[in-house]
């Protein structure tokens, strides 16, 4: 199966509230599918067999055996879904299925993964995007959350204060979860989970919030927008302005004029 060169690309994402006789192919078009059952019940029928579906189950469906999702007529299910491609993402899906020995598993991180999919918004793309964006970063975090946590006990000593200090020291760098994990001597999955437990946010979102706080201080001191963008790790001032607008509801220029 051929996949785009990008590590992960999201085609569709959202939340389905099924009707009594709902049925749908597991996936299509050579994509993989990540699902989290939120409520209700049903089953996934494929060549590998039939799996009863219940809340808390996380599923990974591969294109070579997509099967069919069928809702229970008496208790229709609700599920979060993300259909994706990309060589790294597809390899992660296959690795998890291989480790589980099945396409579905009940996981304590199910709510976290459903939340990450929810933050993607409702996406329906006929064609895959040309490059990775916010939805893809959320997908990567979701797939990493599926990995078992095998860190040494010392890794659990990463405190909220230490994490904030670490990210502030790298405020002029891109939000690179794998690179940060390597520097801390832990796996990306462990760092992602630890950050969630300490702050309630992902590493990328926490790092962005710290960047935006520093950007406000620099703007208040009268620094030029292009200079501020560079100092908080954005090579493109226009992209920095878009991120700032999402965080504050206005552009950096408008924010300065309001002060």
Residue 179 pLDDT: 87
The pLDDT tens digits of the residues spanning 108-166 come to 889 999 999 999 999 999 888 888 888 999 999 999 988 875 554 445 578 888 899 89
Looking at domain 154-259, its CATH architecture is: Orthogonal Bundle (1.10)
* Residue partners of 81: CB distance under 8 A and separation at least 6: 12, 13, 14, 15, 16, 33, 34, 35, 36, 117
Q: Indicate left, alpha or beta for 56 from its phi (over 0: left) and psi (-120 to 50: alpha).
A: left
The rounded distance, in Å, linking the Cα atoms of 96 and 99 is 5
Q: Which residue has the higher pLDDT, 211 or 257?
A: 211
Residue 154 pLDDT: 47
The rounded distance, in Å, linking the Cα atoms of 221 and 142 is 38
Homologous superfamily of 9-145 in CATH? Regulatory protein AraC (2.60.120.280)
Residue 152 pLDDT: 47
Q: What percent of the chain has pLDDT over 90?
A: 62
Domain residue limits, the chain: 9-145, 154-259
Split at pLDDT 50, 70, 90, the class of 245 is very high
Per-residue pLDDT for 2 more than 50? no
Its pTM stands at 0.65
Three-state DSSP at 6 gives coil
Q: Is the dihedral angle over the CA atoms 94, 99, 101, 104 positive or is it negative?
A: negative
Per-residue pLDDT for 72 more than 80? yes
> Long-range contacts of range 118-122, CB-CB < 8 Å, 24 or more positions apart?
118/15, 118/80, 120/10, 120/13, 120/14, 120/82, 121/13, 121/14, 122/13, 122/14, 122/15
Per-residue pLDDT for 4 more than 60? no
Residue 96 pLDDT: 92
Q: Which residue has the higher pLDDT, 1 or 193?
A: 193
- 172, 233 Cβ separation under 8 angstroms: yes
Rounded to the nearest 5 percent, the helix, strand and coil shares of the chain are 45, 20, 35
The rounded distance, in Å, linking the Cα atoms of 111 and 229 is 34
Give the residue from 158, 155, 251, 256 showing the smallest Cα distance to 206. 158
- 228, 172 Cβ separation under 8 angstroms: no
The pLDDT tens digits of the residues spanning 187-241 come to 888 888 889 888 888 999 999 999 999 999 999 989 899 999 999 999 899 999 9
Residue 148 pLDDT: 74
Split at pLDDT 50, 70, 90, the class of 70 is very high
């Amino acid at each position: 199966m051929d996949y785009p060169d990008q590590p992960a690309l999201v085609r569709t994402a959202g939340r389905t509230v099924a009707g009594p006789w709902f049925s749908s192919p597991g996936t299509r078009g050579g994509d993989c599918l990540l699902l989290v059952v939120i409520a209700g019940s049903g089953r996934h029928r494929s060549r590998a067999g039939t799996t009863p579906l219940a809340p808390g189950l996380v599923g990974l469906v591969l294109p070579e055996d997509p099967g069919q999702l069928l809702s229970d007529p008496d208790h229709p299910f609700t599920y979060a879904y993300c259909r994706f491609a990309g060589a790294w993402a597809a390899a992660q899906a296959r690795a998890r299925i291989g480790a589980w020995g099945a396409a579905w598993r009940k996981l304590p991180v199910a709510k976290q993964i459903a939340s990450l999919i929810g933050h993607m918004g409702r996406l329906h793309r006929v064609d895959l995007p040309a490059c990775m964006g916010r939805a893809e970063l959320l997908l990567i975090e979701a797939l990493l959350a599926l990995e078992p946590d095998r860190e040494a006990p010392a890794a659990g000593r990463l405190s909220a204060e230490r994490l904030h200090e670490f990210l502030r020291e790298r405020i002029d760098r891109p939000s690179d979860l794998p690179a940060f994990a390597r520097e801390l001597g832990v796996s990306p999955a462990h760092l992602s989970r630890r950050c969630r437990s300490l702050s309630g946010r992902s590493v990328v979102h926490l790092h962005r919030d710290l960047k935006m706080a520093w950007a406000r201080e620099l703007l208040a001191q009268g620094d030029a927008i292009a200079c501020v963008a560079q100092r908080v790790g954005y090579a493109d001032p226009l992209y920095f302005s878009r991120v700032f607008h999402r965080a504050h509801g206005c552009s950096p220029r408008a924010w300065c004029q309001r002060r």
